[in-house]
Amino acid sequence: MPHEKILYIPKIENGIVIDHIPAGLGSQILQIIQVHPDLAGVPITLGMNLKSKRMGTKDLIKIQMTELSPQTLQHLSILAPGVTVKRIQNFKVDRKIVMDPPELINGLMKCPNPNCITNSERHLKTCFHCLEKMPMRFACNFCERHFFAEELEPVHPHVVKTFSAGKEAALK
14-41 mean pLDDT: 88
How much of the chain, in percent, has pLDDT values that exceed 90? Answer: 51
Position 15 pLDDT exceeds 90: yes
Give me the pLDDT at residue 38, please: 80
pLDDT value at 3 more than 60:
no
Single-letter amino acid code for the residue at 87: R
* pLDDT number for residue 5: 59
At 90-112, the pLDDT tens digits run 999 999 999 998 899 988 899 99
Q: Please report, for the chain, how many H helices and E strands are present, in that order.
A: 2, 11
| 36, β-bridge pairs | none
Give me the residues paired with residue 114 across strands: none
Residue 29: pLDDT band (50, 70, 90) is confident
Residue scoring higher pLDDT (6 or 139)? 139
Cα 138 to Cα 88, 120, 172, distances in angstroms:
33, 20, 22
**What pLDDT digit, counting tens, does each position of 54-64 carry?**
889 999 999 99
| pLDDT attached to residue 163 | 42
| pLDDT(49) > 50 | yes
